[in-house]
């Protein structure tokens, strides 16, 4: 099995900055593992360590059971797609695609065959004679991807490859990438700060913050059962509303609002409760077990309205079908839809 496995990868820069802190992970053969997190969380540093462009301070890397971290970059058999594409401006598309193989003294006939096959796969066969400056952003992205694919590596590393594309092109290219990964049966380590990319492309998502792993799980599990408060608020759009309060008399008391706490959690003095906007029910008349709310803002998003409500002193976001709503309304969330987190550690609590 050509699994990529990292064990306690740590990176401390000379100035003392700890970019990665004992990060362990497994990218399954033929699957896509996405490194997701905000800027500065260590995801690109980890990718560069896997590529051999950076060395880890501590930890070990294995590919297919063999040590990877002791090998120079040229011997790791990985294809790297950079954020800025890093195409050679003086070369044609064909030259960019074939450069690595020519350096490896691959026979000319095989080079031509593999370049043509890869270009046709990516829909850039009619661009082979052009230079990068003559290409659109989407075309340059495909050439950069093709340069990695044409080598047929054991592992593909992609560092925010869609971040320079506009929203419409990014969405279409994301779908193409997913189909391509499936077709290739490729093992992919993919870096992004865009949770939509992570959710749609991945077999598993590794959530990083401050160089530490917060959760590693399939996308739907990360969304439905976030491991901690950070993951809960980072994954999901619109983002989850969270309230913090003291627990007594079976209720979590926030700022002017009370939420019934599950039996198993009522002895905890302090809790966070998380509410996803799509799980909020809104009405113009009182709801049994609901909260009285004031409508502060309504934002049309197409087939739904994103509401910002004021419940006591707390803010609550709700995603509802479009309709006319008065200033005074009521909101309710089914108890089984609530997410609970420890008031001190912010880790998930099962109710």
Q: Are residues 313 and 213 in the same domain?
A: no
Among 227, 258, 293, the domain boundary falls at 227
Residue 236 lies in a domain: no
Residue 215 lies in a domain: yes
Q: Are residues 68 and 13 in the same domain?
A: yes
The closest alpha carbon to 157, from 53, 301, 296, 277, belongs to 53
Q: Are residues 199 and 263 in the same domain?
A: no
* CATH at residue 260: 2.40.50.140
Q: How far apart are CA 16 and CA 48, in angstroms?
A: 19
30-44: average pLDDT: 94
Q: How high is the pLDDT of residue 65?
A: 85
Q: Are residues 305 and 223 in the same domain?
A: no
Among 194, 227, 260, the domain boundary falls at 227
Q: How far apart are CA 80 and CA 310, in angstroms?
A: 47
**Residue 166 Cα to chain centre, angstroms:** 18
Among 166, 199, 227, the domain boundary falls at 227
Q: Indicate whether 72 pLDDT > 70.
A: yes
28-32: average pLDDT: 92
pLDDT tens digits, 90-143: 999 999 999 988 888 889 999 999 999 888 888 899 999 999 999 988 888 889
Q: Are residues 341 and 309 in the same domain?
A: yes
The closest alpha carbon to 157, from 41, 49, 313, belongs to 49
Q: Are residues 68 and 39 in the same domain?
A: yes
Q: Are residues 141 and 279 in the same domain?
A: no
pLDDT tens digits, 134-165: 998 888 888 988 888 888 888 999 998 888 77
Q: Are residues 152 and 91 in the same domain?
A: yes
Residue 10 lies in a domain: yes
Q: How far apart are CA 147 and CA 94, in angstroms?
A: 9
Q: How confident is the model at residue 174 (pLDDT cuts 50, 70, 90)?
A: confident
Q: Are residues 121 and 155 in the same domain?
A: yes
For 84-148, the DSSP string reads T----TTS-HHHHHHHHHHHTT--HHHHHHHHHHHHHHHT-GGGTTS-GGGS-HHHHHHHHHHHH
Q: Are residues 179 and 208 in the same domain?
A: yes
Q: Are residues 29 and 108 in the same domain?
A: yes
Residue 100 lies in a domain: yes
Q: How high is the pLDDT of residue 184?
A: 80
Q: How high is the pLDDT of residue 1?
A: 65
The closest alpha carbon to 301, from 277, 280, 283, belongs to 277
201-219: average pLDDT: 96
Q: How confident is the model at residue 300 (pLDDT cuts 50, 70, 90)?
A: very high
Total domain count for the chain?
Answer: 2
Residue 232 lies in a domain: no
Q: What is the DSSP letter of 10?
A: E
282-299: average pLDDT: 92
Q: How far apart are CA 189 and CA 162, in angstroms?
A: 14
Residue 210 lies in a domain: yes
Q: Indicate whether 211 pLDDT > 80.
A: yes
Q: Are residues 95 and 130 in the same domain?
A: yes
* CATH at residue 110: 3.40.50.300
Q: Indicate whether 351 pLDDT > 80.
A: no
Domain region containing 250: 241-349
Q: Indicate whether 58 pLDDT > 90.
A: yes
43-48: average pLDDT: 94
Residue 234 lies in a domain: no
Average predicted confidence (pLDDT) for the chain: 91
Q: Indicate whether 335 pLDDT > 90.
A: yes
Q: How confident is the model at residue 38 (pLDDT cuts 50, 70, 90)?
A: very high
Q: How confident is the model at residue 166 (pLDDT cuts 50, 70, 90)?
A: confident
Residue 94 lies in a domain: yes
Beta-bridge mates of residue 191? 35, 159
Q: Indicate whether 277 pLDDT > 90.
A: yes
């Amino acid at each position: 099995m050509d699994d990529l496995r990292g064990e306690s990868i740590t990176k401390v820069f000379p100035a003392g900055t700890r970019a990665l802190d004992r990060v362990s992970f497994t990218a399954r053969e033929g699957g896509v593992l996405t490194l997701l997190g905000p800027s500065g969380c260590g995801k690109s540093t980890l990718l560069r360590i896997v590529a051999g462009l950076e060395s880890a301070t501590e930890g070990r890397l294995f590919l297919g059971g063999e040590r990877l971290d002791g090998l120079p970059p040229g011997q790791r058999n990985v294809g790297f797609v950079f954020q800025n594409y890093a195409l050679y401006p003086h070369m044609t598309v064909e030259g960019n695609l074939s450069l690595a193989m020519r350096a490896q003294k691959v026979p000319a006939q095989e080079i031509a065959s593999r370049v043509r096959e890869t270009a046709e796969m990516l829909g850039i066969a009619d661009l082979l004679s052009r230079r990068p400056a003559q290409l659109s952003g989407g075309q340059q992205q495909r050439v950069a991807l093709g340069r990695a694919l044409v080598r047929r590596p054991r592992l593909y590393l992609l560092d925010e490859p869609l971040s320079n594309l506009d929203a419409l092109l990014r969405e279409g290219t994301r779908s193409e990438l997913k189909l391509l990964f499936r077709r290739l049966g490729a093992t992919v380590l993919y870096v992004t700060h865009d949770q939509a990319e992570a959710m749609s492309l991945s077999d598993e998502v590794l959530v990083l913050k401050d160089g530490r792993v917060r959760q590693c799980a399939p996308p739907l599990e990360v969304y439905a059962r976030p491991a901690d408060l950070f993951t809960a608020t980072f994954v999901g759009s619109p983002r989850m509303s969270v309230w913090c309060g003291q627990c007594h008399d079976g209720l979590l008391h926030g700022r002017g609002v009370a939420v019934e706490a599950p039996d198993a959690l009522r002895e905890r003095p302090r809790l966070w409760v998380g509410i996803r906007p799509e799980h909020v029910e809104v009405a113009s008349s009182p709801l049994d077990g609901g909260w009285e709310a004031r409508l502060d803002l309504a934002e049309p998003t197409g087939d739904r309205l994103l509401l910002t409500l004021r419940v006591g002193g707390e803010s609550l976001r709700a995603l509802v079908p479009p309709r006319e709503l008065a200033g005074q309304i009521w909101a309710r969330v089914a108890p089984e839809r609530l997410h609970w987190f420890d008031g001190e550690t912010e880790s998930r609590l099962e109710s």
